[in-house]
Structures are given as structure tokens and as C-alpha cells.
Structure 1
């Protein structure tokens, strides 16, 4: 099953949104610390709503601790990538890595990725919100590998605010 990984997140609302995304799709979330906020921040709780109990979240005290347990291909979503995310053949155990909202990932982390993918954007725009970028790429991964929500979806499930 694919996973999402957040590298030293800055914005609690994005972490909460990714926890909710993971809970709804059955995809785990790795949070690589240090975070720019405490993990019980009320802004994060507002984003995750009542989905926190359904989320598979693993906290890692550092990048090195995350790497030590990493068991899949590391796919970095980055504006510095050369390959569009839609041109990749994904694997069921891929880990989609998202950088800090304020700074992305350092060169060491960038270099450790097995793949570096980008979301094509209009000229003159810098980047998408990390939660939106994660949802776009994760949707493609789940479409390709055939795991996750497709097998467990509730027919009446929908998008809510």
C-alpha cells in the first residue's frame, strides 16, 4: 500500500488535511520531525476533523529515523523535478514525499529520492499547496496500483466541507 510522508511540515492545517486524506483513502502518513507546530495543534485538529482515529500516522524523530525504516521507493514531489507525475509507473509500496511548505526539502533529502516528479503548472506560478499536490499524485498512484479506496469505498461517500 502506498504511503504519504511529510518532511518537517510547517503548517498544521496541511498536516491535518493529509491525515484526513489518508484516513479516507486507507493510505498511511509518515510525519518526519521536527515539525513547525505541535502535533495536537487546534488548527490541525480542525482540518482532520473526526478522522484522526481512522488515520494511520507514524511519527519519525528525524530524517535518519525515517530512512532507517523506509521500505518502499521514495517519490519526491518537487518543483525541481523533471518528470511529470502522470508519466511514472507507480508501485504499490511507493512513498510520496512532500517537503516543507516554506522551503521544500534540503539537497540531501532531494538526492535520496528514487524519483523526483512534478505537477506541470502554468508559467509564472510557483507551487501548489502540499495537500492538494499530494491528493493529485496519490489519486494517480491509487488508480494505477488498484489498492486503497477503490476496494473499500462506500457507495454514498462524497466530498464534504
Structure 2
């Protein structure tokens, strides 16, 4: 099963919308602490609507705790960063991929990027007037791209 991983998300509405996407596509959601909100935040629940109860959610105290428990293989990991050297269209995503996203204001922590350079991918943008896309929008685009082969079968 494909898993969406949000590292230190800050905005509850984005996380709620990502959770709804996870339910729609049958994906797990992993949240890496610290979070910029509490899970009971009404803004989170409002964005996730009445789907939040159906989210397959796991939380980890840190990135290292996530790595220690889940032990993802290198070929499973896809870390989304705006300046990544390859497009998210290039990889063949395995069914058990981990799609990893950083927080809204800072992206992924430098140490995570440094340790996983071979796993970096970016959503291409044609305009130089936009620095980045909204986290929930980016996750949706990436999730559907990763699932593309399953919709074509």
C-alpha cells in the first residue's frame, strides 16, 4: 500500500485535505512530529470532513523513529522537494511506495534531504513566478501520479 508521509506539518487544513486524499486512494497517512497542531483540531477535522475516521493513520515522534519502525527500502522512498534534480514523472512507483513531504514553510529538514538525495523528486512548474505549491495540492498530484499504473490496469 502506498503511504503518504508528512514530516512536521504545520497547517491543520492541509493535513485534513491530505487525509481525505488518502481515504480516496486507499493510502496510509504517516505524520512525523512535531506537528503544528493537535489531531483534535477542528480545522483538521473540517478539512478531512467526515472521512477522518476512515484514515489509516500512524504517528511517529521523529523521522528516525519512523525509519526504525517502518524500515523503508531505498526504492520505496520518494522525497518531494522543489529543487530536486528529477521530475516526479520519471520514477516507476512501487505499490508500497512512501511519498514524503516536508512542512509547508520549510520543506524537508536539511538532514533528511542530505541523507536521501537519490530519492528526491519535484513537481515541475512552468512559471518562475511561483516558488512552491500548496502542500495538499502537491500531495494530491503526487499521489495520483504514483497510482497512475493502477488506474490503467
Residues in 1 aligned to 2:65 and 2:133: alpha-carbon distance in whole angstroms: 28
Q: Structure 2 length as normaliser, TM-score?
A: 0.91
Cα deviation for residue 111 of structure 1 reads 2.3
Q: Structure 1 length as normaliser, TM-score?
A: 0.86
How many residue pairs get matched? 147
The aligned residue for residue 135 of structure 1 is 140
The aligned residue for residue 100 of structure 1 is 103
Tell me, which stretches of 5 or more residues in structure 2 are unaligned?
Answer: none
Cα deviation for residue 39 of structure 1 reads 1.2
RMSD: 1.5
Cα deviation for residue 53 of structure 1 reads 1.4
**Is 1:29 the counterpart of 2:33 in the alignment?**
no
Cα-to-partner distance string for 1:22-69 (whole Å, 9 max, x where unaligned): 111110000000101111111101000100111101011111111112
Residues in 2 aligned to 1:120 and 1:25: alpha-carbon distance in whole angstroms: 23
Tell me, which stretches of 5 or more residues in structure 1 are unaligned?
Answer: 151-161
| SS at structure 2 position matched to 1:43 | helix
114-123 vs 55-64, greater mean Cα deviation:
114-123
